[in-house]
Amino acid sequence: MATRYLIPGGDGNYNSTSNWSATDGGVSGATFPVAADDIIINANSLDAPITVNVVSACRSFNASNYTGTWTISNNFSVNGTAATGNITLSSGMTITGSASFIKVPTSTTGVITSNGVVFNCNFIFQTTATTTTTITGAMQVDGNITWPLNTAGSTNTINGSTLSIGGDIIHNSPVAGTATIEMIGSTTATITQVATRYLFNNLIINKTGILNINNLYWGTTSRTLTYTSGIVNHTGTLFATASTTLNTNGMTWNILNPAGTISFTSIFNADTISKASGSFNFQGTHPFTINNLSLSSATSIIFANSLTYTINQSLLAYMTTSGTFRAVSSTGCNLDVAPTATIALYRGTFLYINARTKTLRVYKPVSFTNTQNMLSISGNINQYSSTI
Amino acid sequence: MEYNILNRRESLTVFTEVEFVFDGVSETIEIAHFEPKSEEEIVQNIKNRYESEILKRSLE
């Protein structure tokens, strides 16, 4: 274990002893840093550039008073455990390259302090177990960010400031924490996940380009998913956990699979809201506008008071025996179902719903002659009332 | 009833109603800003939305 200081006058290749000294401001000739070594870059480095010309590693990376360029041509790992594996960048320095800057926290804590420096390369949180990393000051990665497959399914916790990502999120193990994840930039990007490996953090979509999402497993209690800008092509299902907030007016989801209570703080647009079994509670300050609502084996479907929910194509509500389809209270809500939409209701008690545009109605005697599949009544019909 | 508040965290979303002009036609769009750090961030988000709306219209 040693400390290596970047010094000027070398050839600029990471694995050359011409760039490294064993003392601050000392002479060259020290072995280049390896996984157990600490790298220090400071004013005595005189902004000497370094190219990571071979796969390389160090224990910690500490740069200050340095405005030189660190070129990631091969993967570069910072391997230290706990507080020994911190990354501190110097304001004004450049990190760029086609390979990956890797944080390998093998223990529980580590700190990344960007000081405004952008990782203009890919970044990997290389974890094999439960880890916690703290971002001090905003962190930005213009390339892809990866949380590799963690066979244990252990959670990577990212706390602190916002982590902004210009490229893809490749997300194969759970990610949690108080840091906000923000998708930015004009580069077409994707979010790729292993199923059920949730992204638990607050998430912002704030791109000037295109974001392609298939299935997205997102959220935990009190987290918010916000759409600010970008073209979002959602082709799969948003699996949103209970007690989360969706603030995504301006884009349209394909399918929402909600768990429990979901709050909308702007109009929620989707083709379909669908889930088999559970209780569903749509709250918040705004309603949804969707094509299809399909909730089966539902113990309750609850809507916020005083809002108008719009369904354009089909409403399928298959309730349990004691299931209820209702607004929160007698204040009630409006349910606008398109006149051409299909409605299928199975069991359930309906409370405080004002269906303003379409009702299931039989008006005066009706005859069916030479028809097929016109009407199916599988239960009792209560005494006729002109208003239900 | 006994209870103990262990933690309290508040979250702020700012909503701006912005008038844009696309091909000479005025359109009002509400933009959400999750926990903005500054007014500059709000302005940048508005610019981002304008760019993405231009791109969306060019692809239609």
- Which residue is closest to B56 within chain A, CA to CA? A231
pLDDT at res. A109: 74
Tokens of A352: 């405080």
Measured distance CA(A117)–CA(A62) in Å, rounded = 13
pTM for the predicted model, two decimal places: 0.92
- From residue A275, alpha-carbon distances to A44, A224, A258 in Å are 61, 21, 7
Residues in chain B: 60
Measured distance CA(A31)–CA(A2) in Å, rounded = 10
Measured distance CA(A140)–CA(A183) in Å, rounded = 10
CB contact under 8 A, A202 and B9: no
Q: What ipTM was reported for this prediction?
A: 0.89
pLDDT at res. A131: 83
**pLDDT per residue over A253-276, tens digit each?**
999 999 999 999 999 999 999 988
Which residues of chain B have a CB within 8 Å of the CB of A266? 15, 30, 32
What is the biggest distance separating any 2 CA atoms in chain B, rounded to whole angstroms?
Answer: 61
Measured distance CA(A268)–CA(A354) in Å, rounded = 20
DSSP designation for A241 = P
pLDDT at res. A298: 87
Instruction: Compute φ and ψ for A85, nearest 5 degrees.
Output: -115, 30
Measured distance CA(A93)–CA(A68) in Å, rounded = 5
Which H helix or E strand runs over B32?
Answer: strand B25-34
pLDDT at res. A343: 86
DSSP designation for A199 = B
Measured distance CA(A330)–CA(A305) in Å, rounded = 8
CB contact under 8 A, B9 and A210: no
Which residues of chain A have a CB within 8 Å of the CB of B48? 184, 206-208, 228-230
Q: List, as ranges, residues 1-60 from B with C-beta within 8 Å of A.
A: 9, 11, 13, 15, 29-35, 45, 48-49, 51-53, 55-56, 59
Which H helix or E strand runs over B53?
Answer: helix B39-59
Question: Which residues are CB-neighbours of A96 under 8 A, at least 6 positions away?
Answer: A69, A70, A71, A72, A120, A121
CB contact under 8 A, B11 and A202: yes
pLDDT at res. A102: 95
pLDDT at res. A25: 93
Q: Which residues of chain A have pLDDT under 50?
A: none
Measured distance CA(A292)–CA(A316) in Å, rounded = 8
Q: In this structure, which amino acid lies at residue A49? A: P
DSSP designation for A193 = E
User: Minimal Cα–Cα distance from B1 to chain A, Å?
Assistant: 23
Which H helix or E strand runs over B45?
Answer: helix B39-59
Measured distance CA(A354)–CA(A365) in Å, rounded = 25
Tokens of A152: 């244990």
Rg of the Cα atoms in chain B: 18
